Amino acid sequence: MSIKTLILRSLKKNLTNYYLYVFALVFSSALYFSFVTLRYDSSMNKVQASVKGEAGFSAASILLLVIVSVFLLYANQLFMKRRSKEIGLYQLVGMTKFKVFRLLSIESMLIYFGSLTIGVILGFFSSRLIVMLLFKITNVQAVATLHFSPEALLQTLLVFLVIFVLMLLVNYFFMKRQSILSLFRVVSTTEASVKKQSVLELIIGIAGLCLIILGYYLSSRLFSTDTVATNALLGMMVAILASVIIGTYFFYKGSISFLFNLIRKKKNGFLSVQSVLSLSTLMFRMKANSFLLTVITTISALAIGLLSLSYISYYSAEKASEQFVPNDFTFSHKKDLASYEKTLSDHGIPFEEHRIKVLSVPADLSDVSDRPLIFASSNSKYTPISVISTKSINEPPLKKNEMYLTGANDSFLRLTNFKESGTITFKLKKESLKRTFTELKHHYVVSIKYSNGSLPVAVVDHATFQLLEKEGKPTQSIYNGLDIKDNTKLEAANDYFIHQFKPVASNNLSPRVASRIEDVKQQRGMIGLAMFIVGFLGLTFLITSGCILYFKQMGESEEEQPNYTVLRKLGFTRDDLLKGIMFKQLFNFGIPLFLGLSHSYFAVKSGWFFFGVSLWTPTLIVMGIYTMLYSIFAILSTLYYKKIINDSL
């Protein structure tokens, strides 16, 4: 047989077996190419001009490259191991090592560059789609036009060429190291052999579970104990990461087999065929693959966590904007307000003005928070707090000696352990004034810029307000807000606003005037780009790790085929076996997924309040999508097993 027919033959065989590998290759090259195209394209300036995403983009493209190359190298290694018998066979029939190497190289070159070509073509077309998506999430109004970029093509080709050369090198050394005999044995030595459980394993197993729980526990206290006050935050974070990651590793190394062994012991030899196919093999497999699984779990957790956080911010943009712009528009200067009001009147748009006088009164807050350190100035017992009158916001008068607080955000409340009710003592020039509050509202009445730090604003009845103003001689300022009465006219009002204030509104650090619509847009744009990049990376990671698990399952199923033969001879039906396999896949994909979800849940939960105001909806959406995409690989694996089972008798 000539080398050409050999290549063609094994190519044909491998293409049917490795369609997923080809898919992954096409996918990752398409992704990379479109990402680079995006970077080089001029239409990106529209996004970046407002957001400065260049740094993010280049960091992301490097990360993308790392993920893709690790994946390709790893997959290549898996295939070499799987094909070691074939390689040994070629050598056995008298081919030289170099000739076999050449054979394999030509074959993989055909697959690799074939997929790359398809990937680049797909990447070019999909980049337009991606740009459209990016424009949509970042609120850029522009038509997505993309030009073919030779630089992007060159960069993609170069990068993938380097990866290919690396692959060849790895293959070369793999073959050089191996004797023919060891090539025949490779498969069996890679998986840990079946052994009895040792005491050490038991200890590792228990330690793994404990470490994970410890990490979770620490994470729940990360921002709520004295850590914040004592600057132990960084140390604590490192401790959490370490204990969770090591715990995960131990979990795969020992806990799984420990738990499964407990179940097995309980069954006392009476294992149904379902548990034979799931429990008994999984406990050995997971142990053998514990490192890989740890990496996959950790990065999944990272991806889900980051995606959730960025989606939380994106999702909360509107709410977050309320803190800075509580009304439709705000104005620092009265003359801006007046001129805008004139514009509105000229165009017949009804509006409502909110002018609120804000006092800054020193107050003793020791009763409402046990951690005043965070907001109090160090040398004084008194912290300035903003005070407004019920009258200025058109609310009915309060009972004497009572007040309420409003405008509290979650991160502030958690950091300071702020109480829901309590007493605040205002310091006047001569005496002091005690007021109790029974309510802590989240709603913002004046912009957060008018309160001290993130402290809520005290709302007192008008008599108290006047007293404070008169006796305390506090610093005062006036908040100017404006609401459009008719929501359908808001859009138009906003257009006039932009038109009128374009020169002054551009300074977004301390804007003289602000529009809520514009503020939300801006926030969305900023977070949207971050979310887009994280999503891009997360998706790549999801697909590559799913592929790796699938490839592992391919190998496993072939290794276990003799077992299926036995079981079918003994009279177990295909359906019996398939049920067992489904169970196995449930664990096989489910455990890393579940651990990843649970890790990321605790990570998100420990600090989400810095990112937004809503935890559940965005997190659940992200987790749901991740789980769905991930399950596709479990289903594909099960289908592969089905084929193997059918062929086993």
Partner 1 sequence: MFILEAKNIRKSYGSKLNKQEVIKGLDLQLEAGEFVSIMGASGSGKTTLLNVLSSIDSINSGTIMIEGKEVSAMKEKQLAQFRKHHLGFIFQEYHLLDTLTVKENIMLPLTVTKVPRNEAEARFKSMTEELGIYELKDKYPNEISGGQKQRTSAARAFIHNPSMIFADEPTGALDSKSASDLLQKLTDLNRSRQTTIAMVTHDPVAASYCSRVIFIKDGQLYTQLYKGTQTQQAFFQDVMKTQAVLGGVPNEY
- Which sign does the torsion angle of CA 130, 136, 137, 139 carry? positive
Tell which one of 569, 624, 643, 647 touches partner 1 (CB under 8 A). 569
- Is 551 near partner 1 (CB under 8 A)? no
Task: Please state the three-class secondary structure of 405-436 as a single string.
Answer: EECCCHHHHHHHCCCCCEEEEEECCCCEEEEE
CB of 571 to partner 1, least distance (A): 3
358 to each of 193, 413, 451, 512, how far by Cα in Å? 74, 22, 9, 17
CA 386, CA 438: separation in Å to the nearest integer? 17
DSSP 191: S
Q: Which is nearer to partner 1, 221 or 569 (CB)?
A: 569
Select from 58-66, 188-196, 307-315, 330-338 the region that touches partner 1 (CB under 8 A).
188-196
Cβ-count burial 97-119 (b if 16+ within 10 Å, e if not): eeebbebbbebbeebbbebbebb
Tell which one of 185, 568, 579, 642 touches partner 1 (CB under 8 A). 568
What number of other Cβ atoms are within 10 A of residue 466's Cβ?
13
Task: Looking at residues 575 to 594 of the shown chain, list those that interact with partner 1 (rule: CB under 8 A).
Answer: 575-576
CB of 175 to partner 1, least distance (A): 29
Tokens of 296: 């996959």
| Polymer length of the chain | 649
| Whether 229 contacts 373, CB under 8 Å | yes
Alpha helix stretches (DSSP H) within 178-316: 180-190, 199-221, 227-230, 233-250, 256-267, 273-277, 279-288, 290-315
Q: Which is nearer to partner 1, 407 or 580 (CB)?
A: 580
Q: Which is nearer to partner 1, 296 or 567 (CB)?
A: 567
CB of 194 to partner 1, least distance (A): 5
What number of other Cβ atoms are within 10 A of residue 235's Cβ?
11
Torsion angle defined by CA atoms of residues 449, 450, 454 and 460, in that order, rounded to the nearest 10 degrees: -160
Tell which one of 94, 348, 396, 571 touches partner 1 (CB under 8 A). 571
- Is 273 near partner 1 (CB under 8 A)? yes
- Is 566 near partner 1 (CB under 8 A)? yes
Q: Which is nearer to partner 1, 150 or 269 (CB)?
A: 269
Q: What single-letter amino acid sits at 265?
A: K
Task: Looking at residues 55 to 114 of the shown chain, list those that interact with partner 1 (rule: CB under 8 A).
Answer: none
| Whether 35 contacts 536, CB under 8 Å | yes
Q: Which is nearer to partner 1, 442 or 574 (CB)?
A: 574
Q: Which is nearer to partner 1, 153 or 591 (CB)?
A: 591
Counting Cβ atoms within 10 Å, is residue 592 exposed (0-12), middle (13-18) or buried (19+)? buried
- Is 266 near partner 1 (CB under 8 A)? no
Long-range CB contact pairs, 143-149, < 8 A, 24+: 144/43, 145/43, 146/37, 146/41, 146/43, 147/41, 147/42, 148/37, 148/124, 149/36, 149/37, 149/40, 149/41
Q: Which is nearer to partner 1, 482 or 577 (CB)?
A: 577
CA 73, CA 76: separation in Å to the nearest integer? 5
Count interface residues toward partner 1 (CB under 8 A): 30
- Is 284 near partner 1 (CB under 8 A)? yes
Strands 329-331 and 475-484: antiparallel
Tell which one of 475, 573, 617, 646 touches partner 1 (CB under 8 A). 573
Beta bridge partners of 358: 477
- Is 195 near partner 1 (CB under 8 A)? yes
- Is 563 near partner 1 (CB under 8 A)? yes
What number of other Cβ atoms are within 10 A of residue 148's Cβ?
10
The residues near 46 (Cβ < 8 Å, ≥ 6 apart) are: 135, 140, 142
Tell which one of 156, 280, 294, 588 touches partner 1 (CB under 8 A). 280
- Is 268 near partner 1 (CB under 8 A)? yes
Tell which one of 2, 5, 193, 510 touches partner 1 (CB under 8 A). 193
Match 């509202």 to its residue by tokens: 441
Tokens of 429: 């020039």
| Whether 78 contacts 551, CB under 8 Å | yes
Select from 43-51, 80-88, 277-285, 415-423 the region that touches partner 1 (CB under 8 A).
277-285
Q: Which is nearer to partner 1, 302 or 567 (CB)?
A: 567
Select from 64-72, 240-248, 385-393, 565-573 the region that touches partner 1 (CB under 8 A).
565-573
- Is 202 near partner 1 (CB under 8 A)? no
CB of 579 to partner 1, least distance (A): 13
Tell which one of 55, 270, 346, 348 touches partner 1 (CB under 8 A). 270
3-state secondary structure of 403: strand
- Is 141 near partner 1 (CB under 8 A)? no
CB of 575 to partner 1, least distance (A): 8
- Is 321 near partner 1 (CB under 8 A)? no
Q: Which is nearer to partner 1, 388 or 645 (CB)?
A: 645
- Is 281 near partner 1 (CB under 8 A)? yes
Tell which one of 1, 2, 5, 196 touches partner 1 (CB under 8 A). 196
CB of 61 to partner 1, least distance (A): 44
- Is 641 near partner 1 (CB under 8 A)? no
- Is 272 near partner 1 (CB under 8 A)? yes
Give the footprint of partner 1 on this chain (CB under 8 A). 193-196, 264, 268-273, 276, 280-281, 284, 562-563, 565-576, 649
